[in-house]
A = this chain, B = another copy of it.
Amino acid sequence: MVTRNDVAKHAGVSVAVVSYVINNKNNVKESTRRRVLQSIKELGYNPNLAARSLKTKRTNQFGVLFNNLGNPFETGISLGLEAKAREYGQSLIFQTFVREEEEKLKTIFMGRTDGLILLGQSFQPETVEYFDRLGIPIISITSPVEAHPSVKIVDIDWHQAMLDILKHLQQNGHRKVGFIGSRMRDHHLHYRYQQFLRAVKDTGMEFQEDWLLLADGRLETAYMEMSGKLDSSSRLPFSAIVCANDLMAIGVLSACKDKGTNVPEELSIIGCENILMASHTTPAVTTIHYPRRLIGFTAIECMMKAVDKESTKPEGATLAYHLEVRDSSGRRQGDFSGLVRKPPFLNL
Contacts and interface: CB of A to CB of B under 8 A. Distances in A.
A111 B343 contact: no
Interface stretch (A161-169, A218-226, A235-243, A325-333): A218-226
Interface stretch (A75-83, A146-154, A265-273, A303-311): A75-83
A220 B111 contact: no
Contact of A96 (B86, B96, B282, B341): B86
A54 B48 contact: yes
Contacts of A61: 93
Question: Chain A interface mostly helix, strand, loop or mixed?
Answer: helix
A130 B96 CA distance: 31
Nearest to A276: B219
B54 A50 contact: yes
Interface size class of A (residues with CB under 8 A): 35 or more
A46 interface: yes
Nearest to A347: B220
A91 interface: yes
Contacts of A94: 78, 82, 92-94
Contact of A50 (B66, B72, B111, B276): B111
Nearest to A281: B280
A251 interface: yes
A72 B69 CA distance: 9
Contact of A82 (B91, B96, B106): B96
Interface in A95-136: 95-96, 106-108, 110-112, 130, 134
Contacts of A257: 282
A206 interface: no
A224 B282 contact: no
A92 B108 CA distance: 11
Interface string A320-348: 00000000000000000000010111000
Nearest to A92: B94
B70 A59 contact: no
Given A92-B94, A223-B343, A277-B277, A50 B53 contact: yes
A286 interface: no
Contacts of A76: 70
Of the candidates A49, A52, A59, the one having the most CB atoms from chain B within 10 angstroms of its own CB is A49
Given A54-B50, A76-B70, A79-B69, A223 B344 contact: yes
B111 A51 contact: yes
Nearest to A66: B82
A269 to B, nearest CB: 14
Interface string A252-279: 0010011000000000000000001100
A173 interface: no
A258 B343 contact: yes
A47 interface: yes
A227 to B, nearest CB: 8
Given A46-B110, A66-B82, A69-B75, 14 more contacts: A46-B106, A49-B111, A68-B79, A78-B94, A91-B108, A91-B112, A220-B344, A223-B344, A224-B345, A257-B282, A276-B277, A280-B281, A281-B281, A282-B282
Cβ-closest 8 pairs across A and B? A48-B111, A50-B53, A46-B110, A50-B111, A220-B345, A49-B111, A50-B54, A282-B282
16 contacts: A1-B134, A47-B107, A49-B112, A50-B50, A52-B111, A83-B96, A91-B108, A92-B93, A94-B94, A219-B276, A220-B345, A223-B344, A224-B345, A251-B344, A258-B341, A280-B281
